[in-house]
Structure 1
Amino acid sequence: MIASSKEAVNRQKSGWRRIWMLVVAAGILFLAFYRLTDYPLTWFDEGSHLHVSKALVKYGVYADYSSEGFRYYGPTNGLGPTVLLPIAGVFRLLGIGLLQARLVMVVYLLVGLFLFYRLTVSLEGDGWHALAFLLLFASRGVSILEYGRQVLGEVPALVFLLGGLLVWWQAWEKPSWGKLALAGMLLGLSVVTKSQVLLFLGPALVLAWLANLVYYRLLPQRVFLLPGLVTAGLFAAWQAFLLFGLDPQASIGNLSLLRETSGSAAFVFSAELIRRSLSELISVLGYFGLLGVGLLYGATLILPRRIEAQKWSILWMMAALNLLWYVLASISWVRYAFIGLALACIFTARFLYDLTRELKPRLREFWQAVREKRPVPGTVAAQGALALAVAGVVLGSLALNVRDVLAPGENTPMLMAAYLNQHVPLDAVIETYEPEMGFLTDHRYHYPPHSYLNKTIQFTWLGGSLPGEGYDFIQKEKPEYVLVGKFAAWVQFYSIPEIESRYDRLITIGPYQLYRLRGVSSNFTP
């Protein structure tokens, strides 16, 4: 009788668990697809990436483009073929459009969430995996919903990284050359997708090999050497193709642009930006420092000389190295810490779960005292307040993410694109620094050369001279239209008084201002 009663209780719990999982899955699917073209608004980075997929479908060329022709290096290096080629394939099947491109990204998002959960389940310990998933999904620092719903490289790079780690760890049980090579290919695709991943993945692989050689001594060296060599080889081959294969005549210029880009965004070393980065990590973006506490706790998990601890150590090194680079050498844009923050969620969840597990009896005492309206013991009150504070921060962050998806506001890029299609001839040259418009419409846009992007980064994050100094395309070529949008205004690229001395403002839609050269006819029938 007792056994059957326990079975009934277990069946009931299992049934409720399945219902809860279905509710969570339905909620995730809704938040992933709802108003997909409205949130987030398409912008500079996404537009520049989409140029490549659009050019591949329309012209058969893997390149960015401007009114003067193709540009083979720039956005082609900002996001890898692992994303741009599938989007181009969808364009061929369903037509060119923002919705079609973002559907590809949502697939990456859903796969990434699944792999993240699978990776946490593969680690030792029970009961904390759901909390890790919740932290990842809710975190305002990780912003996985925001990044996963647009054409950026962060979420796809995380997908390949997580897939590579899972295959790699499976190969530890029986280190076959095939599985180790596959793990290296997946890790290599991660850095091909987003080249900044190499800044922490490469050192982490070297340190993991040294840690096994000196400290753990549990695995043969080929377990680390083969994936590392395949990863490095794949990345090197792709970079060589970008630098020398797409446009051999521009190889020297491509190398110069690569050096400028690295110096302006990847190796900055600014005291002011270091302070900014640290303040970001101890703000709500890092659960007010709990991510850092989680990493400190994680350092205790990597100490035992066991296979499980060795897995923890690899995750810990990747998260710590990414966050260390973000603080010390990056331009302090929290998106550069995406993977580090995502992996740090695992350690934070484990810390909070282990802490809460010890507090459960005290928390019951806390709630009982509250219900009975009697004084709560000091230590119990402190522990209860801690649990409530953590729950408030996490659920508050999740609520903000849900709000962003449900109420994104006016879609000004789409409105501006509709206006251009109605009022501007397709053969008119439009000067702009808003590449998203070149994807949304088929007009002839001219964009500042990619070398100016490094100047905008320097100006925006480090100060100095205005990035548009020396740029004289408007004065010399006198394009019929000039479109100033959010990015150009943010980096102060164009001189508005100078534009208004030669152009008339036609319309303002959100952050976009469209100007027409004086004397140009306004007669146009779409």
Structure 2
Amino acid sequence: MPHLQTTTATGSMYRIVVIMLFAAAALLATINLPYAPRTWFDEGSHLHVPETLVRYGKYADISATPDGGVEFRYHGPTIGIGPTIMLPVAAVYQAFGIGLTQARLVIVIYFAIAVVAGYALAQRLYGGWPALIALALLLASRTVNYEGLIEYGRQVLGEAPGVAFVFLGMLAWLTALKTATELSAQRTHLIWSVLAGLGFGMALVTKNQFVLIVPLALLLTALLDWRYYRAGSWVLRLVPLVVSVACFGVWTLTQFALLGPGTFFENIQQTRQAAGGAIFVFNIRSTLRAGYYLLRPDLYGGLIVPALAYTIWRARSRTSQGLSEALLALLIGLWLAWFVGASLGWPRYAFPAVALSALTVARLAFDTVAWLRRLLPVAATVAVVYLIAIIALPLALTARVVFTPDDSAQRFAAYLNATVPETAIIATWEPELGVLTDHNYRYPPQPTLDQAVRSTWLGGAPVQYDWYAERPTYVVVGGFGSYTGVYNTPELERHYIQVAQIGTYALFMHR
């Protein structure tokens, strides 16, 4: 606590706990990596792009055609996450072969960057002990039902890399702020401002939801500094914003050059359609669902919103520290406002704000315990026990996931390799199988995904897709196909027989 003297014993204890947390992070990020969590729809669709790039030289998703040919699809996963993930995974595929483990190791590296950068950022903002708490909370960012940083850091998804880039951007931004008033360090100040923009810009390129929040947060922070704080410089106010937006602009122009105007504008149209079903929904059920997720006691003990309010209160100080906390509060506050007020309310959409909130919750918890120790020591003890509980319980849930691997996808893939000819057409909506085997998979067209999202989350009309029109020889129904019911039609029962069931995967063969 703040009034305790820093002794050799407390310093040693601090270092031991930090080392233990980093060791736990390393173990929980790598044990049973290919099998926990079990690979699934989103990860599988992302993995198609680097595989297609390596095999065909195309930056695209892929599906078999009814006659056994190849159809390249330039929407969906090609813009869902960016080249900051796709290109490293493709490089690993090129060097070590195509496989789930190789791809997941790339994300583990991003996870390590996120953990180290998050801890360093908390140290810069708040000091040693709050940083230790923030590190523990980052690792314990899951709930009973929904995944956290460790689980996202084990799958080829955009959350862990995006958070890593935001942490790096904020670290560079803080360094630039420190040198803003030093006349002798103007060149250094400019360099760090550019690096901050690159960090934030890579987040925008990594996952498109960051585009909604990060530029607006930087713009509002610049305006607040100009009119209220006056702690930074015009270089810091403008350069990170301009560079970050330029990064996204360069990636957008690159897509235009690669895809051509026809496909590029078709992608824009499909993105708008998808946004209407997930990004800008404005649905009361989604709002209630999102609000419940943020306030539930198994997510940082229900402290995200109080911690945000406390950070805003701390940001009232017209100092560089106040400006730093204003940027953090804006990133979290804008993200949560969008998540609750406009989005589909899928908890994964909120995760970058949840990860940033590890810092604000740590500051709130540290100051609360310090305050209670002076006024009511018994209450301080209760608060410490509560803090330990909200860290230990999620970590236990994560450990259960890591130490109970599910290899059903790999076993089912091995069964397909042994029994189904590679030339046969397999209709399925389990894209992860396309990475585990070399069969010809025929997937539903990309707009069908938007229909499925609206149907399952918003109570819309069922998915309309005549999969049987192409008379596939085999059909595989797994977790996502069952969830959406896309193959739950009379044709499956009438014309196919089930020949295998492994885990959630069922293989049907035409009679």
Normalised by the length of structure 1, the TM-score is: 0.89
Residue identity matched to 1:487: F
1:269-308 Cα distance to aligned partner (Å, 9 max, x none): 0011111111111113433421111111111110000001
Q: Partner residue of 2:183?
A: none
Q: Secondary structure at the match of 2:269?
A: helix
Aligned residue in 2 for 1:464: 460
1:27 CA displacement: 2.0
CA contact (8 A) 1:73 1:242 kept: no
Could you tell me how far 1:228 is from its partner in structure 2?
A: 0.9
Q: 1:79: which partner in 2?
A: 81
- The yes-or-no answer on 1:433 pairing with 2:446 is no
Offset at 1:501? 0.8
Residues 484, 347 of structure 1: alpha-carbon distance in 2 compared, 3 angstrom cutoff: same
Deviations 1:394-413 (A, max 9, x none): 211221112211123x3211
2:35 corresponds to which of 38, 41, 49 = 38
1:41–1:243 Cα change, 3 Å: farther
Distance 2:457 2:253 in 1: 30
Shift of 1:34: 0.4
Moved more, 140-149 or 27-36: 140-149
CA contact (8 A) 2:370 2:380 kept: no
**1:3 match:** none
SS, match of residue 284 in structure 1? coil
User: 1:63, 1:197 → 2: CA distance?
Assistant: 22
Counterpart in the other structure of 1:223: 236
Of the three residues 491, 508, 514, the one matched with 2:507 is 514
Residues 221-273 of structure 1 show CA distances to partners (whole Å, capped at 9, x for unaligned) of: 23121211121122122123335532444233222111111111110000111
Instruction: Name 2:170's counterpart in structure 1.
Output: 165
1:156 aligns with 2:158: no
Note if contact 2:467-2:487 (Cα within 8 Å) is conserved in structure 1.
no
Q: 2:300 aligns with which of 263, 269, 287?
A: 287
Write out aligned runs for 1:188-199 (5 A). Answer: 188-199=201-212
The alpha carbon displacement at 1:135 in A equals 1.1
Q: Deviation of residue 160 (structure 1)?
A: 1.0
One-letter code aligned to 2:150 = L
Shift of residue 129 of structure 1?
A: 1.0
Cα distance change, pair 242–284 in 1 and its aligned pair in 2 (3 A)? farther
Q: d(CA) in 2 for partners of 1:287 and 1:170?
A: 29
Identity %: 38
Residue 322 of structure 1 aligns with which residue? Answer: 335
Structure 1 residues without counterparts, runs of 5 or longer: 1-6, 365-379, 519-526
Give yes or no for contact 1:243–1:255 (8 Å, CA) kept in 2.
Answer: no
Q: 2:276 matched to which residue of 1?
A: 263
Is the contact between residue 139 and residue 285 of structure 1 (CA under 8 Å) also seen in structure 2? Answer: no
Partners of 2:390 and 2:125 in 1: CA distance: 26
Pairwise mapping of residues 62-77 of structure 1 onto structure 2 (< 5 A)?
62-68=59-65, 69-77=71-79
Structure 2 length as normaliser, TM-score?
Answer: 0.92
Q: How does 1:84-483 map to 2 (within 5 A)?
A: 84-141=86-143, 143-172=148-177, 173-174=179-180, 175=186, 176-243=189-256, 245-360=258-373, 380=378, 382-408=379-405, 410-467=406-463, 469=464, 471-474=465-468, 476-483=469-476
Give the whole-Å Cα distance in 1 for the aligned partners of 2:490 and 2:175. Answer: 62
Instruction: Report how far residue 204 of structure 1 moved.
Output: 0.6
Query: Who is 1:522 aligned against?
Result: none
Listed as ranges, the gaps of 5+ residues in structure 2 are 66-70, 181-185
Aligned to 1:374: none
Seen in structure 2, the aligned counterparts of structure 1 residues 19 and 512 have a Cα distance that, compared at 3 Å, is same
Q: In structure 2, what residue type is equivalent to 1:162?
A: F
CA distance in structure 1 between the aligned counterparts of 2:361 and 2:268, rounded to whole angstroms: 40
Cα distance, 1:15 vs structure 2? 4.4
Contact 1:51 1:64 in 2 (8 A): yes
Q: Cα RMSD between the aligned structures?
A: 1.9
**Deviation digits for residues 89-111 of structure 1, max 9, x if unmatched?**
11111111111111111111111
The amino acid that maps onto 2:418 is: Q
Q: Does 1:487 align with 2:483?
A: no
Q: How many residue pairs are counted as aligned between the two chains?
A: 491
Equivalent position amino acid for 1:389 in 2: Y
Match of 2:497 in 1: 504
